A = this chain, B = another copy of it.
Amino acid sequence: MSQSVDRDDRREPVMDVAHLGHLEVLTPTPEESRRFFVDVLGMTESGRAGDSVYLRGWDDYERYSLKLTGAATSGLGHAAFRARSKQALERRVAALQESGLAIGWIDGDVGHGPAFRFHDPDGHVIELYYETEWYEAPPELRPYLKNQAQRFPARGVNVRRIDHFNCLAADVRANRVFFEDYLGFRLTEQIVMDDGREAGMWLTCTNKSYDFAYTHEAHGVGGRFHHLTFALDSREEILRAADIFRENDVFIETGPHKHAVQQTFFLYVYEPGGNRIEVANAGARLVLAPDWKPIVWTEEERRHGQAWGLKTIPSFHTHGTPPLPGDLAGGDR
């Protein structure tokens, strides 16, 4: 068992982070990207401000789960988690102030109140907030069932809600320990190389088996982004999504197939701005154990490929955003 789990045994779990709230994704082709998220993924625009449009899946309870911002290049603007309570937010901020990685408070943004910003050890910007705006559907988007945030769009891929994201990091272990120690995330699975170096880690603050992942950045560049994932209700919908991506000339990088790690049923595409987007479904799998014992995958085990034998596509280890010099966004098609 890893050291962090030993630590957990000595103290109670910290439950201060409630869930992943939204991502800000940068794109050099904002209008093409917006059309991809609205027309192909089936998201709904729920706000505009400055160079950003705000977008949501039909089951996101907050106003939005994606802030799409026009920029010089692609990549992650920031990732934002919602705290469990005001007091929980204050506790985490107090801890983060001591981390040496604090950026500081912002007043808020469309849809949420004051947020505390900090860097992870690799340089990505992360945000923590509590006050949020619950989505109020306009009349034409009101659902038939009142326990649903918005009516089912019946357009394109119909993504349901944000599920998780994946960043690249030069030092995966350092980032894992940071998120465990300062924010209370729990490790559910990881890849550890034969030399002890950590190549991937999957962390959760919910009963989902992961809310985000960091995998190894092999190119010595900080702050790069790997992908953002939206959940669909069934694997049938993900298979259909593959048809829809093809019909809309969206580049499919790999999938649909089932990951060995986390058993996620995956499908990866590149949106027009070059960012990798996943639609995924994990069935009824949940991590319910409060003392889950992390699964550690070895190099040898990872050589077996994905759950049903598909080899991991090489670009999965190289393509991130912003692209490296020579890796034109989507240019490795």
Contact = CB atoms under 8 A, between A and B. Distances in A.
A247 B82 contact: no
Given A288-B61, A289-B61, A307 B255 contact: no
A231 B232 CA distance: 18
A234 B283 contact: yes
Interface in A267-321: 281-286, 288-293, 295, 297, 301, 307-310
B12 A87 contact: yes
Contacts of A307: 144-145, 242-243, 246
Nearest to A248: B154
Contacts of A285: 59, 233
Contact of A236 (B134, B161, B237): B237
Nearest to A82: B290
Interface stretch (A114-122, A166-174, A257-265, A323-331): A257-265
Copy tally for this chain in the complex stands at 4
Contacts of A283: 160, 233-234
Contacts of A234: 234-236, 283
Nearest to A309: B252
Given A88-B12, A246-B307, A308-B255, A147 B189 contact: yes
A244 B58 CA distance: 13
A295 B147 contact: yes
A143 B246 CA distance: 9
Interface stretch (A13-21, A25-33, A175-183): A13-21
A315 to B, nearest CB: 12
Nearest to A147: B295
A245 B154 CA distance: 10
Contact of A290 (B18, B151, B245): B18
A265 B235 CA distance: 13
Interface residues of A, number: 78
B242 A258 contact: yes
B293 A134 contact: yes
A286 B206 contact: yes
A76 to B, nearest CB: 21
A155 interface: yes
A85 interface: yes
A84 interface: yes
Contacts of A292: 61
Contacts of A148: 263
A303 to B, nearest CB: 13
Contacts of A240: 152, 237
Interface of A: 12-13, 15, 18-19, 59, 61, 82-85, 87-88, 134, 143-148, 151-152, 154-157, 160-161, 163, 189, 206-208, 231-237, 239-240, 242-247, 252, 254-258, 260-263, 265, 281-286, 288-293, 295, 297, 301, 307-310
